[in-house]
Amino acid sequence: MPKLPRTITLVLGGARSGKSRYAQELAAKFRSVVFLATLRPMDAEMRRKIAHHRRERPSPWKTVEVPLRLAEAIRSESAHADVLLIDCFTLFVSNMMRVARRAEAHNHKHVRELCEAIRSSSASVIAVSNEVGSGIVPAFRSGRVYRELLGQLNQEVAAIADNVVLMVAGLPVLLKRTRRPAREPR
């Protein structure tokens, strides 16, 4: 398998839109994959979901559970992989807000650090995130802060990404392509 060019790809979409499946199909085109998982096993349902996702991933892929220190994980793991698959920003932002309550400036700093880690990664990066800007305005301040922070992260990563894909009903809609990604999944 030839070495693929380094790219940054952002895969956006709603819940159950096929984001993770599509991102995994892209990542499977690379030789060495590190899966950066942001889901915290907080209850039995989450633990079952994590176990299911682990079974779905190819066994040679390395999985690193990183609910909070994502920028550090990107920096440390990029030297050992052809591609980093981050799944997902949605849960990462939730984890970050849970730890740093009422520290909005601190959270915005983490967004900038994360974007810099992605930009400087020696490996390709495929990041998965929910598009939350199409829904209603949350009734509670914490929901609005969450939506704003995730929206900011999505926008900043989209700005540095080579490819941005919006998943709708399992179908990829190309929003941005400045470099060809590893062969498109079918």
User: Mind listing the pLDDT tens digit of every residue in the chain (186 residues)?
Assistant: 667 789 999 999 998 899 999 999 999 999 999 999 998 877 888 888 888 888 888 889 999 999 999 999 999 999 999 999 999 999 999 998 888 665 666 777 888 999 999 999 999 999 999 998 887 888 998 899 899 999 999 999 999 999 999 999 999 999 999 865 554 554
What pLDDT is attached to residue 182?
Answer: 53
**Which of these is catalytic: 53, 80, 108, 110?**
53
Spatial CA neighbour of 33 closest among 86, 88, 81: 81
How is residue 100 written in tokens?
Answer: 């740093």
Q: Write b or e for each residue in 47-67: b if 16 or more Cβ atoms lie within 10 A of its Cβ, otherwise e.
A: eeebeebeeebeeebeeeebb
Distance of CA 147 to the CA centre of its chain: 16
Q: What is the pTM of this model?
A: 0.90
Task: Identify the pLDDT of residue 47.
Answer: 85
- The token pair at 126 is 């495929």
Considering the domain delimited by 8-176, tell me its CATH architecture: 3-Layer(aba) Sandwich (3.40)
d(CA 77, CA 93): 20
- Distance, CA of 61 to CA of 33 (rounded, Å): 5
- C-alpha separations of 92 from 6, 97, 128, 160 in Å: 24, 9, 11, 19
DSSP string, 88-143: -HHHHHHHHHHHSTT-HHHHHHHHHHHHHHHHH-SSEEEEEEE--TTSPPPSSHHH
SS3 9: strand
Q: Could you tell me the residue ranges of all domains in the chain?
A: 8-176
Q: Is 53 a catalytic residue?
A: yes
